[in-house]
Amino acid sequence: MTSEAAHAVERLPDDEPCLDAVVKEVLRVRPVVYEAPRLFGAPLRLGEHEIPAGWVAGPYIPLVHRDPAAFTAPDEFRPERFLDGHQSRAWMPFGGGRRFCVGAQPALLEMRVIIREVLHRLELSAPDQAPEARRLKNVTFGPANPTRVIARARTPARTP
């Protein structure tokens, strides 16, 4: 994580634009959905290729999100890429166009609310810094194994 990203995480509970940028970067680095398939009713010309009618095709979202032409330093966690209204059109964790997920806005709101509340109350750390393995479950990615997190209260617990 870059120093800018580390500073951004420290400010998260009180900085709405920063929190939104971190949520979007998390979804860029670890999208939940891996593809947005479409059944073609008519042939489609795509560059030098023609996709016949009746075929199913779509973008592989994790690959799009790691394209250096769309995201500078795509292997780095850099929430600042989403600050100041600057967002690549290639960001598509919820699909795109008419295929955009109807649950996208509630999901983004839920992530912001939960992250804000957790970070107000707890200081989190991961004892194992290795990247977490993912497992495909139907059409979504999820953790392959439970994740261990150390949580410490930010304020001392009240005693009666």
The DSSP line for 20-79 is HHHHHHHHHHS-SB-B--EE-SS-EEETTEEEPTT-EE--BHHHHHT-TTTSSSTTS--G
**Residue scoring higher pLDDT (8 or 133):** 133
- Nearest CA to 31 out of 142, 149, 105 is that of 142
DSSP secondary-structure letter at 125?
A: E
Determine the distance from the C-alpha atom of residue 32 to the mean position of all C-alpha atoms in its chain, rounded to a whole number. Answer: 7
Q: Band of the pLDDT at 12, cuts 50, 70, 90?
A: low
Integer CA distances (angstroms), 87 to 21, 24, 58, 125, 126, in order: 9, 9, 21, 29, 29
Evaluate if residue 30 carries a pLDDT over 50: yes
Mind listing the pLDDT tens digit for each residue in 85-128?
777 889 999 887 777 888 899 999 999 999 888 888 888 888 88
Beta bridge partners of 128: none
The predicted pLDDT at position 84 comes to 78
DSSP string, 144-156: SSPPP-EEEESSP
The predicted pLDDT at position 9 comes to 55
Determine the distance from the C-alpha atom of residue 110 to the mean position of all C-alpha atoms in its chain, rounded to a whole number. Answer: 13
The predicted pLDDT at position 41 comes to 92
Q: Band of the pLDDT at 15, cuts 50, 70, 90?
A: confident
The predicted pLDDT at position 48 comes to 94
For the chain, the domains span 3-122
Report yes or no: 71 and 90 within 8 Å, Cβ to Cβ: yes
